[in-house]
Amino acid sequence: MSQPQISYEFFPPHTKAGITKLVETAQVLAATDPAYFSVTYGAGGSTRTRTYETVVKLME
């Protein structure tokens, strides 16, 4: 039987401080060896730009 995998989904933050906090949180969660992180598009009125910026920051 294969092992279950986990992943994490983030909502794009509304502020630069929120992006900083999200990146810090992702670094902590990375210790759990997730299969992937995803960023929700269009959640809570977010825009494509904020989603893209969030993905870029997570990949850095």
Separation CA 7–CA 36 (nearest Å):
5
9 is catalytic: yes
Residue 48 within a domain:
yes
Is the residue at 22 inside a domain?
yes
- CA atoms within 13 A of residue 32's CA, in its CB half-sphere: 13
40 pLDDT higher than 80: yes
> Is residue 1 domain-resident?
no
Is residue 11 situated within a structural domain?
yes
Q: Which of 9, 24, 53, 60 is catalytic?
A: 9
Q: Taking 70 as the threshold, does the pLDDT of residue 25 lie above it?
A: yes
Boundaries of domain holding 14: 7-59
pLDDT bucket at 43, cuts 50 / 70 / 90: low
Count of C-beta atoms within a 10 Å radius of residue 30: 12
Provide the number of structural domains found in the chain: 1
Report the Cα 22 to chain-centroid distance in Å. 7
What pTM does this model have?
0.80
Helix 16-29 / helix 48-59 crossing angle, nearest 10 deg:
40
